[in-house]
A and B are shown apart, each in its own frame.
Chain A
Amino acid sequence: MAVSTAEKLARGQKEISIGEFFQRNKQILGFDSLTRSMITAVKEGVDNSLDACEEAGILPDIYVEIEQVSKNEFKIILEDNGPGIVKRQMANVFGRLLYGSRFHSIRQSRGQQGIGISAVVMYGQLTTGKPTYVISKTEKEEVAHWMRLILNTKKNRADVIEEDFKVWEDKEHGTRIEVFINARYIAGKQSVLEYLKGTAIVNPHAHITFKDPNGEVEEFKRVSDENPRATREIKPHPKGIELGYFINMAKASKHRRMVTFLTDEFSRVSPRVAKEILEKAGVREKQSPKTLSIQDAKSVLKAIDEVKIMAPQTDCLSPIGPTLIKKGLRNVLSGLRPKFYAPPVTRDPKVYSGHPFQVEVGMVYGGELPKDKQVEILRFANRVPLLYHQGGDVITNAISKVDWRRYGLEQRGGKGIPYGPAVILVHVASTQIPFTSESKDAIANIKVIENEVEKALRLCARKLKTHLSKSAKKAKNREKFNIVQVLLPEIAKKSASIVGKPVPKLGKTITSIMNVIWIDDSIEYDKKRHKVQVDIYNYTSTIKKMKLYTELPIDNLDMKKIDPEPDDINGDKIQWDIKRITSTDVFSIKFELKGLEEEDFSDIEVYFSDVNPSIVIGAEMLPGDWNLDDKKITAAAQSLFDYDEEKDDDGVAGQPDEEEENDVVDYDDEADLSDDDNGIDDKAEGF
């Protein structure tokens, strides 16, 4: 059997000794208030668990429990199904600050500095005086081992008070920690529950259970069985590296010559590039890195700036991806029944100061989200929710710079956080998130990151805008539909009954009012089936033919329940040729999808071709790239433009061909009957 993950992690774990410093500066670790301490404790534990599971390729199962011991004292229990920690490393992992494998590597991970969980242990012991209980089991071992430990802050090492082996029932591998801390438990925006919600959204592969101090259990189910793509460790990229860091690397290097030091310890530096750098810097190739003067180091950095170096590789990043962002948002927000999940945007990776980063944006709109409040911003850095310092964050900054009024949200003066029933999710992934402080609350305002966030926001917002204008258009069309389908027949019937004549035919009046082809779709979900109907109303005065297209999850299409039969199916793309709809007639297409969840198919995009697009409402013209991989492309593309020759005299959609003089005054819009009244009853005009 190969070396277990725990063993591998153990080998990378080295020591940094600054325990005492952190004892005096606990606020920078996120323990500056009682409420904050609660979240930090949970967060450090959960982040560690998620990272460990990911590295080991395990789908995380995380249990969080908070018990209230006394007014300000709580017992926090965190349990995972991670790879476990080997016995000899346990005291180090939990009992020494800055002890971890991740601190020395450059890759995307949650707990970037490795000060996390041991800081919780330390904070707990400082505030309650109680030791921490840890139990862990690796896959290889028969039994679990447990210990009670406290942190010796002077020596930055753990003092184990008590330890033993025990059988851990039904547990193949995993770790459980029970720590007592002084804290305060609150509900609301900056709470443990909010943090876990956020975590669940961006980690749809995790199953998280939370039991709060009142014994209430909240469960976030796993909605994806895919572990995030494993991140790779990379060497630092020379561009943008800081002087101190560079000198430290040089001092610690095992290489004896600058040229091999640069080539071997940095990414994207070939021997040729290394030589070019050194030549420009005026430093000898044979110079020993250990004895490099500060002056020379500066020259090297200056030269690095001037030399062209390939951008750092970006395959070390692990974005969540549009599909999983949507799934995650659905999983957690479905209770608010949002009307629209904008297709999330994942940008291509970019580089800041030598570090690759990648931005993702998701958006949710409508339903029971509050209409008159600021939109909810969900900020994430390497899949970790950021709950504090929203104001000082690059994400908030980028959001405030977008003029959201253009995309259908309210915003005073076109600046600042917009208002409306929306949730905006922004995820920044990087090998090195530039946090504004050690407590990792906010991402620093770095121009390239801000630009990327802004671009991603605009892309996503555009989709929201399209959705909103589509619904507005639909509502307007529904009005007209109401006129011709409901009111007009009633008017005709009543007038006929008053004058004692047969009910007149409405065809021509209807086509005069509408003069459009109206395409309306409806989706009903019942007994695990989506029943879809697309109605094509010909409200023009002539017979019409057209082609209709849509894209469906073809594997879920019930071939027995599709009527009429499509004229062409190509992959997920389906086409119907509608040969003839007479004036004022309706043509219906019905089909059913099976085996999908309701939200898997909430919107249908219908496209058309072979008819004058200016008279069609409720569907889009077939996009030019629809059949790109298909031989029929030429025919389809050609037919798009055929209507021009058809000599269509239908005019423009929504513009009835009846006289429409501009100076006609709408009586009901104009009448101003309250002119003599003041709206107060006793002075309103009487009868």
Chain B
Amino acid sequence: MVSEDRHQKAVKELYDIADSIYRQIEKGQIPKMEIPLRSKKNIQFAPRKGVWKYGNMKGIRSAKKLNGAYMLLRTMYMLEFIKDMIKDNKSSTLREMYYISEGWDKGKFGSQDESNNLAEDLEIVTACMREDFKLRPEEDGARIIGNLTLEEVNRKGIKKRINCQDDVGDSGYSIPYNVETDKVNFIDCDAKFVMAVETGGMFDRLVENGFDEDSNAIVLHLKGQPARSTRRMMKRLNEEMNLPILVFTDCDPWSFRIYSSIAYGAIKTAHISEYLACPSAIYIGITTDDILNYDLPTDKLNAQDIKALKSELTDPRFKDRFWRDEIELMLKINKKAEQQALAKYGLNFVTDKYLPEKLTELGVL
């Protein structure tokens, strides 16, 4: 679909929401909206796409409750704001919208989480993407280093060819918030896999050790839970360039969730999992077994960690054997470890020994 059409479709969908609210009030009903529930209770595996999507459970946002009434009022303000942006051909960041809501009187948001979530609610209800609403996130600075050549349309509208090894500095190619084909296209790639790394420290270690060249890898920095554009980038590399995605994180409950967002789809964005998730992504480590096998320095689990692990036991995405064992073992040994713990055996240990061993074990090399 051409971009202009997408915006017009968004306008129509948003109008329908306002119209529905209007009609309900006109009929003397209590205005409400029905929205698919965004919780782990309501995600299910979509076998054909190989990812996790929202199920059929719906929640009601009704003006009968104070919270609901506030959210409906904010929805009306947001609709109007998006409509006006599309009309005036402007766009705004999510953060800007949060600050603009300062002027929405009673419709003002309490936090940026609230406004971000409402934007996602609207995506889900209208089946549009936030880009269609002219809303974008801030750049979050996730980056890539490796032998990948791509073309990016720059600010001046000119296609600029970039090799992510030769044309970039130490910090690599910075992933823009829009990685769709109107902005970024892959030209050429001489790499065997993508190594997606959780922490900046480990990313820098792999780069300094020349892992991208020696192992023919694209090293990608996730920056914690990866942003949508980072996940979309991995998805495209996976699908278009046929590169396996390998996920290399800390060993703690939160890192497990990073992997599940990449491979299965995040709960927050389950409505667009098929655009973002790479079902074939492989978890390299650090695994709980690694802690024991490599005798890594550890920290004790804190109360939050334990709560998170227990919650993962009831998360349908972690239902398979591997994760169940990981989670239960972690609870049992009551320990977690950082990626940097590998430095116990020297700075080159990760690239000389750990990764090659793991890659061989997993059959990637």
Contact = CB atoms under 8 A, between A and B. Distances in A.
A649 interface: no
Interface stretch (A91-99, A383-391, A592-600, A660-668): A660-668
A506 B94 CA distance: 33
Given A495-B21, A686-B140, A676 B28 contact: no
Contacts of A494: 18, 73, 76-77, 80, 107
Contact of A491 (B29, B76, B227): B76
B53 interface: no
A491 B64 CA distance: 13
A667 B37 contact: yes
A499 B19 contact: yes
A652 to B, nearest CB: 15
A512 B59 CA distance: 20
Nearest to B257: A676
B208 interface: no
Given A656-B30, A670-B37, A670-B39, A487 B69 contact: yes
Interface string B27-54: 1111101010111110000000000000
A509 B18 CA distance: 16
Nearest to B256: A676
A673 B59 contact: no
A682 B200 CA distance: 11
Interface residues of A, number: 50
Interface stretch (A449-457, A478-486, A545-553, A555-563): A478-486
A509 B79 contact: no
B226 A509 contact: no
B292 interface: no
B94 to A, nearest CB: 6
Interface string B105-118: 11100000100110
A665 B315 CA distance: 20
Interface residues of B, number: 75
B315 A666 contact: no
B106 A490 contact: yes
B225 A685 contact: yes
B345 interface: no
B68 A667 contact: yes
A496 B57 CA distance: 30
Contacts of A483: 63-66, 69
Contacts, number: 192
A32 B27 CA distance: 81
B55 interface: no
Interface in A666-687: 666-673, 675-687
A18 interface: no
B268 interface: yes
Interface string B51-95: 000000111111111111111110011011001000000000010
B22 to A, nearest CB: 4
Nearest to B135: A687
B38 A656 contact: no
A388 B251 CA distance: 59
A666 B225 contact: no
Contacts of B140: 686-687
Contacts of B83: 498
A483 B31 CA distance: 12
Given A675-B40, A676-B260, A686-B225, A491 B230 contact: no
B120 to A, nearest CB: 8
A665 B268 contact: no
Interface string B256-272: 01101100001110000
A230 interface: no
Nearest to B33: A667
User: Which interface residue of A482, A496, A678 has the most chain B CB atoms within 10 A?
Assistant: A678
Contact of B224 (A501, A504, A672, A683): A683
B323 interface: no
A665 B224 contact: no
Chain A interface secondary structure, helix, strand, loop or mixed? helix
Contacts of A479: 66
B304 interface: yes
Contacts of B137: 686-687
Interface string A616-655: 0000000000000000000000000000000000000000
Nearest to A667: B59
What 9 pairs between A and B have smallest CB-CB spacing? A508-B28, A667-B59, A686-B227, A494-B76, A672-B39, A687-B137, A498-B18, A685-B225, A487-B69
B308 interface: yes
A162 interface: no
A499 B18 contact: yes
A681 B31 CA distance: 35
A507 interface: yes
B181 interface: no
A541 to B, nearest CB: 9
User: Which interface residue of A487, A664, A665, A675 has the most chain B CB atoms within 10 A?
Assistant: A675
Given A513-B63, A666-B62, A668-B59, 12 more contacts: A483-B65, A487-B72, A490-B73, A495-B19, A497-B80, A498-B80, A512-B28, A667-B35, A667-B59, A672-B40, A675-B268, A686-B137
A498 B83 CA distance: 9
B26 interface: yes
B209 interface: no
B254 interface: yes
Nearest to B39: A672
B261 A509 contact: no
Contacts of A658: 29-30
Given A482-B66, A671-B39, A683-B258, A506 B29 contact: no
Contacts of A604: none
25 contacts: A480-B66, A483-B63, A487-B106, A491-B31, A491-B76, A494-B18, A494-B77, A495-B31, A496-B22, A498-B14, A501-B22, A507-B28, A512-B29, A665-B37, A666-B61, A667-B33, A667-B35, A669-B67, A676-B225, A681-B224, A682-B223, A683-B224, A683-B257, A686-B224, A687-B140
A675 B268 CA distance: 8
A682 B224 contact: yes
B92 to A, nearest CB: 13
Nearest to A498: B18
A488 interface: yes
A683 B304 CA distance: 13
A678 B307 CA distance: 10
A683 B76 contact: no
B108 to A, nearest CB: 12
Interface in A496-520: 496-499, 501, 504-509, 512-513
B311 interface: yes
A495 B18 contact: yes
Given A507-B28, A656-B30, A675-B315, A670 B59 contact: yes
A124 B267 CA distance: 79
Interface string B292-323: 00000000000010001001000100000000
Given A495-B76, A498-B18, A664-B60, A687 B227 contact: yes
